[in-house]
Amino acid sequence: MKKLIVVFFLAALIVSCKEEPKKEELKESVAALEPAPEIPVEDFFKNSEKRTFRLSPNGEFVAYMAPYKSRMNIHVRKFDGEEVTRVTSVEDRDLSGYFWASDNRLVYIRDKGGNENFHLFAVNKDGSNEKDLTPFDGVRAQIIDDLSEDPLHMIVGLNQRIPQVFDPYRINIETGKLELLYENPGNITGWQTDHDGKLRLAYVTNGVDNTIMYRKNETDAFKEVITTNFKQTLAPQFFDFDNGSIVYAVSNLGRDKTAVVKYDLEQNKELEQIFINDEVDVDGMSYSRKRKVPTTINYTTAKLNRKFLDKETETIFKNLESKLGSNNEYYITSSNKNEDKFLVYAGDDKTRGAYYHYDKATGNIYHMADLSPWINPKHMADMKPIQYTSRDGLTINGYLTLPVGIEAKRLPVIINPHGGPWARDNWGFNSEVQMMANRGYAVLQMNFRGSTGYGRQFWESSFKKWGQEMQNDITDGVKWLIEEGIADPKRVAIYGGSYGGYATLAGITNTPELYAAAVDYVGVSNLFTFMETIPPYWEPYKEMLYEMVGDPKTKDSIMMKANSPVFHVDKIEAALFVAQGANDPRVVQAESDQMVEALRKKGIIVEYMLKEDEGHGFRNEENRFDFYKSMITFLDDNLKKNIKM
Q: Output the pLDDT for position 32.
A: 55
Among the listed residues 370, 331, 327, 332, the one whose alpha carbon sits nearest the alpha carbon of residue 351:
370
Please state the rounded mean pLDDT for residues 460-472.
97
- Encode burial over 601-617: b for 16+ CB neighbours within 10 A, e otherwise: eeebebebbebebbbbb
Report how far residue 601's alpha carbon sits from residue 433's, in angstroms, rounded to the nearest whole number. Answer: 33
Report how far residue 41's alpha carbon sits from residue 624's, in angstroms, rounded to the nearest whole number. Answer: 9
Confidence bin at 517 (pLDDT 50/70/90): very high
Please state the rounded mean pLDDT for residues 596-606.
91
| In the chain, % of residues over pLDDT 90 | 91
Strand residue runs (E) in 166-281: 167-172, 178-180, 188-193, 199-205, 209-214, 223-229, 234-239, 246-251, 259-264, 269-275
The alpha carbon dihedral of 259, 265, 271, 274 has a sign of negative
Instruction: Using the predicted structure, report yes or no on whether residue 13 has a pLDDT greater than 90.
Output: no
How do residues 34-93 score in pLDDT, each as one tens digit? 999 999 999 999 999 999 999 999 999 999 999 999 999 999 999 999 999 999 999 999
Report how far residue 199's alpha carbon sits from residue 363's, in angstroms, rounded to the nearest whole number. Answer: 38
Contacts of 29 (CB under 8 A, 6+ apart): none
CB-side exposure of 409: number of CA atoms within 13 Å?
Answer: 5
Please state the rounded mean pLDDT for residues 190-201.
97
Instruction: Using the predicted structure, report yes or no on whether residue 17 has a pLDDT greater than 50.
Output: no
CB 97 within 8 A of CB 109: yes
The alpha carbon dihedral of 430, 435, 436, 442 has a sign of positive
Report how far residue 505's alpha carbon sits from residue 518's, in angstroms, rounded to the nearest whole number. Answer: 8
Strand residue runs (E) in 465-624: 487-497, 517-521, 575-581, 606-611
Confidence bin at 604 (pLDDT 50/70/90): confident
Q: Output the pLDDT for position 613.
A: 94
Tell me whether strands 246-251 and 329-335 are parallel, antiparallel or unpaired.
Answer: unpaired
Compute φ and ψ for 560, nearest 5 degrees: -65, -40
How do residues 286-316 score in pLDDT, each as one tens digit? 999 999 999 999 999 989 999 999 999 999 9
Q: Output the pLDDT for position 9.
A: 35
Please state the rounded mean pLDDT for residues 481-499.
97
Please state the rounded mean pLDDT for residues 521-546.
93
CB 133 within 8 A of CB 177: no
Q: Output the pLDDT for position 26.
A: 53
Instruction: Using the predicted structure, report yes or no on whether residue 191 has a pLDDT greater than 60.
Output: yes
**pTM of the predicted model as reported, rounded to 2 decimal places:** 0.92
Q: Which of 2-16, 117-131, 423-437, 575-589 has the lowest mean pLDDT?
A: 2-16
Instruction: Using the predicted structure, report yes or no on whether residue 644 has a pLDDT greater than 80.
Output: no
Instruction: Using the predicted structure, report yes or no on whether residue 153 has a pLDDT greater than 90.
Output: yes
Strand residue runs (E) in 289-361: 293-300, 304-308, 329-335, 341-347, 354-359
Q: With 0-12 CB in 10 A as exposed, 13-18 as middle and 19+ as buried, what is 229?
A: exposed
CB 231 within 8 A of CB 456: yes
Compute φ and ψ for 353, nearest 5 degrees: 100, -170
Q: How many CB atoms lie within 10 A of CB 216?
A: 14
Q: Output the pLDDT for position 5.
A: 30
Please state the rounded mean pLDDT for residues 543-551.
95
Q: Which of 133-137, 488-492, 562-566, 641-645 has the lowest mean pLDDT?
A: 641-645
How do residues 348-365 score in pLDDT, each as one tens digit? 999 999 999 999 999 999
Report how far residue 395's alpha carbon sits from residue 458's, in angstroms, rounded to the nearest whole number. Answer: 10
Q: Output the pLDDT for position 4.
A: 33
Q: Output the pLDDT for position 15.
A: 28
Report how far residue 99's alpha carbon sits from residue 50's, in angstroms, rounded to the nearest whole number. Answer: 15
Which domains, from first to last, does the chain contain? 31-40+384-641 (3.40.50.1820)
Edge-to-edge order in the sheet of strand 517-521: 383-389, 395-401, 442-447, 411-415, 487-497, 517-521, 575-581, 606-611
Coil/strand/helix, residue 317: helix
Instruction: Using the predicted structure, report yes or no on whether residue 641 has a pLDDT greater than 50.
Output: yes
What is the separation, in whole angstroms, between the first and last Cα of the chain?
A: 56
Torsion of CA 498, 351, 451, 237, to 10 degrees: 110
Please state the rounded mean pLDDT for residues 20-33.
51
Coil/strand/helix, residue 73: strand
CB 549 within 8 A of CB 579: no
Please state the rounded mean pLDDT for residues 264-268.
98
How do residues 473-485 score in pLDDT, each as one tens digit? 999 999 999 999 9
Instruction: Using the predicted structure, report yes or no on whether residue 8 has a pLDDT greater than 80.
Output: no
Q: Output the pLDDT for position 374.
A: 97
Distance of CA 100 to the CA centre of its chain: 22
The mean pLDDT value of the chain amounts to 93
Q: Output the pLDDT for position 10.
A: 36
Q: Output the pLDDT for position 605.
A: 86
Confidence bin at 642 (pLDDT 50/70/90): low
The alpha carbon dihedral of 84, 90, 92, 93 has a sign of negative
Compute φ and ψ for 515, nearest 5 degrees: -120, 135
Among the listed residues 608, 301, 274, the one whose alpha carbon sits nearest the alpha carbon of residue 427:
301
Which residue intervals of 333-492 are DSSP H helices? 431-438, 456-460, 469-483
Instruction: Using the predicted structure, report yes or no on whether residue 11 has a pLDDT greater than 50.
Output: no
Please state the rounded mean pLDDT for residues 533-553.
93
Q: Output the pLDDT for position 1.
A: 38
Report how far residue 69's alpha carbon sits from residue 432's, in angstroms, rounded to the nearest whole number. Answer: 24
Confidence bin at 183 (pLDDT 50/70/90): very high
Distance of CA 132 to the CA centre of its chain: 26
Instruction: Using the predicted structure, report yes or no on whether residue 331 has a pLDDT greater than 60.
Output: yes
How do residues 620-638 score in pLDDT, each as one tens digit? 999 999 999 999 999 999 9
| In the chain, % of residues over pLDDT 70 | 94
Left (φ > 0), alpha (ψ -120 to 50) or beta: where does 582 sit? alpha
